[in-house]
Amino acid sequence: MRCAVENLMRLENVSYRYHGKIPALSDVNLEVHSGDHIAIVGANGSGKSTLLQIMAGLRYPMTGRFFFNGTEVSERSLRDKGFLRCFRQSVGYVFQDSDVQLFCPTVFDEILYGPLQLEIGEEEGKKRAFEVMEMLNIEHLKDRPSYMLSGGEKKKVAIASVLAMNPQVLLLDEPTNGLDPKTQSFLVELMLALIEAGKTLIIGTHDLSLVDELRSNVAVLSENHRLVKIGKAEDVLSDEGLLLKVNLIHEHIHRHGEAVHKHIHSHYLFHRHEPQNRR
């Protein structure tokens, strides 16, 4: 089995329901190639996190199938030690809630956990941990327990803990959520650098400015949990009708001086005041 092939991940008619009742994904088809950078966008509750967790082999489709490098990822195949090792080595997942991801006594232990699991040697593991900490400017947090970190620091440590494993595919769930502007722009830079380095990057977000900055391919999830469009960022972001339909932008009524007017609005992409909208 090879781990670096063109068609890296493939989802075929994947559906998922929570508790067997609440729909999260419906008939999703998606292909990811090596080196792709894809943003999965959709409103809250559209199924972005569920889709990413299926691609990380943490949940299994209720119907449909998910393939990694041509091998179906299932509870059964991930019981195979060889495949599990190959899959986890290749796919890293950063959770939306960093709190649940950090379980080691200190930041350094946290970052070292993955490399030690991969049995790459303690020296090499420590070298990686220090290098990643230096890149993310968190060396000073080395000996701190995770519960004594701020939200942004936790996110950085969570990303560092996954990067230290050097996965080929990086899945990031709402990476900029709840972060201050400085940390957000730092993350964007980091993601661009990783894309430049040839990593396969898949992010789940409803932050259209992030999609715009990364210039990723975009997969749009509708509120009824279907993948309604896959295309280039510029095509998707210019499709106002689609973005309105999936609730990623909205009509906004507000006052400018004495004039009250209505227009399509997103905090990042659209803020046009068209003459015909003026009242």
Partner 1 sequence: MANKIPPFLLAPPTPCSIKQAKGKMRIPFLGRGINRLASVIREGYAQWDFSSQNGFFQKIDARVKILFLLFFILIVTLKRDVLPETYIWVFVFVLTLLSRLSIAKIYKRVLLFGFLFGFLIALPSAFNVITKGDVVLPIATLPRPYNFWIYHVPAEIGITREGIHGVAMLTMRVINSLSLSFLILYTTPFHEIVRALKVLKVPDSFLIIITLCYKYIFLLSKTVEDMHLAKRSRIVRELSPTEAREWVAGRIAFIFRKTRLRCEEVFKAMIGRGFSDTIRFCGFRKMRMLDWGTAVFLFLSGIFFLFI
**Where do contacts with partner 1 occur on this chain (CB under 8 A)?**
1-4, 18-19, 21-22, 53, 56-59, 71, 78-86, 88-90, 92-93, 95, 97, 99-101, 103-105, 113-114, 117-119, 127-128, 131-132, 134-135, 147, 161-163, 165-168, 186, 189-190, 192-194, 196-199
Strand partners, 252: 263
Q: How far is the CB of 123 from partner 1 (least distance, A)?
A: 13
Helix (H, G, I), strand (E, B), or coil: what is residue 177? coil
Q: How far is the CB of 264 from partner 1 (least distance, A)?
A: 33
Helix (H, G, I), strand (E, B), or coil: what is residue 21? coil
Helix (H, G, I), strand (E, B), or coil: what is residue 241? helix
| Closer residue to partner 1 (CB): 58 or 244 | 58
How far apart are alpha carbons 275 and 278 in whole angstroms?
A: 6
Q: CB of 191 within 8 A of CB of 39? A: no
Q: How far is the CB of 268 from partner 1 (least distance, A)?
A: 21
* Cα→Cα distances 73→31, 94, 95, 100, 163, Å: 14, 19, 20, 24, 22
CB atoms within 10 A of CB 109: 18
Q: How far is the CB of 61 from partner 1 (least distance, A)?
A: 15
Q: How far is the CB of 232 from partner 1 (least distance, A)?
A: 23
The two structure tokens encoding residue 207? 């932050």
How far apart are alpha carbons 176 and 181 in whole angstroms?
A: 9
| Closer residue to partner 1 (CB): 58 or 230 | 58
Q: How far is the CB of 4 from partner 1 (least distance, A)?
A: 6
Q: What is the DSSP string of 185-239?
A: HHHHHHHHHHHHTT-EEEEEE--HHHHHHHT-EEEEEPTTS-EEEEEEHHHHHT-
Q: CB of 41 within 8 A of CB of 231? A: no
Q: How far is the CB of 154 from partner 1 (least distance, A)?
A: 12
| Closer residue to partner 1 (CB): 103 or 224 | 103
Q: How far apart are the first and last CA of the chain?
A: 64
| Closer residue to partner 1 (CB): 88 or 226 | 88
DSSP state of 73: P
| Closer residue to partner 1 (CB): 178 or 231 | 178
Strand partners, 68: 9, 71
Q: CB of 152 within 8 A of CB of 180? A: yes
| Closer residue to partner 1 (CB): 91 or 246 | 91
| Closer residue to partner 1 (CB): 70 or 274 | 70
| Closer residue to partner 1 (CB): 37 or 269 | 37
Q: How far is the CB of 219 from partner 1 (least distance, A)?
A: 21
